[in-house]
Amino acid sequence: MKDTEKKCTCDETCDCGCQEGEPCTCNDDVCDCGCQEGEECTCSDEKCDCGCHSGDPQESVGDDGVPPSLEDQNKFLIGQLTQAAQYVKALEERAASQKQRADDAAAAAGRLQAEFDNYRKRNAEAVKTARTEGVTDVLTQYIGKLDVFESALKMVTDQHMADGLNMLYRQMRELLENYGVREIPTDGAFDPAFHEAVGSVKSSAGGDGIAQVVKRGYFDQTTGKVLRHAAVVVFVKK
C-alpha cells in the first residue's frame, strides 16, 4: 500500500471491494470500477461491467475499443441520412413510373373508346343510309309497277271489274303515301328539278307552263329526294 492513500468515494461497495471513505485496495490492474491501486475511486452509486454509470446512455465503441469521435458520428449520421434520402428518391421514382404507366393506360383506353364511338357512329350512319337506299330502290320499282297497273286499268271495259281494280289502285297509292312518297305537282310552271320535258307544243302566249303530263313524278317527302321526275310536255312560244 502506498504512503499517500486516497480514499474511495463510493456510496456503496463497488466490484473492487472499496467502500466510501476507505482506502482503495485495488491491485495494479484496473478493476471493474476503473480504479487502480493507490488512485482515488471514482465509482458512482452503481457501475456496470462496461464502465457505464447507472442511468447514463451507453457509448458505442469502435473495433479498437475507442469510442467514435464526434466527426465520425456526424459522418455516420450523414451516411444514414443519405441512404434514407436515396431510398425515398427511389420510391418517388418508382411511384412516378407507376403513375406514368397508369396515365398511359388510361390514355390508351380513352383512345380506344373514342375510336369505338366513332366506329359505332359510322356504322349506324352506314346502316341508315343502306336502309334508306334500299327503301328508295323498292319504292322506285313499285312506282314502275303502278304505272303498268294504271295502263291496264284504262283498258278495262267491264265496270264492275273496273270498280274493284280502282279500289286496289287506291290502296297501292296509299301504300306510297304511308312511306312518305308524294306525287310531284304539275299545275304550275316547269321546274327542271322536278319535271322532265319530253315534248313541247307551240303557243302564242309562250311561257314556261306545262301543257300535258305524260307520266306522273314522285318524290320522297322525308328526304326530299326525287324518286322519278314527272314527264311533261311544255309550251313554247311560236
- Burial environment of residue 219 by CB neighbours within 10 A (0 to 12, 13 to 18, 19 or more): buried
* H or E element, residue 212: strand 210-215
**DSSP characters for 21-44?**
TSBP---SS--TTS--TTSPP---
**Band of pLDDT at residue 37, cut at 50, 70 and 90:** low
pLDDT (tens digit per residue) in 167-178: 999 999 999 999
Q: Tell me how far apart the alpha carbons of residues 48 and 30 are, in angstroms, rounded to a whole number.
A: 14
Mean pLDDT of the chain: 80
Domains of the chain: 1-54 (no CATH), 182-238 (2.30.22.10)
Place of cell 480514499: 7
Tens digit of each residue's pLDDT (9 = 90 or more) over 137-176: 999 999 999 999 999 998 998 999 999 999 999 999 999 9
Distance of CA 177 to the CA centre of its chain: 48
The pLDDT tens digits for 192-235 are 999 999 999 988 776 778 999 999 999 999 888 999 999 999 98
pLDDT digits 0-9 by tens, 47-101: 444 444 444 444 455 566 678 888 889 889 999 999 999 999 999 999 999 999 9
- At 185, the pLDDT band (50, 70, 90 cuts) reads very high
Taking the CA atoms of residue 160, residue 164, residue 167 and residue 171 in that order, the dihedral angle to the nearest 10 degrees is -170
pLDDT number for residue 17: 64
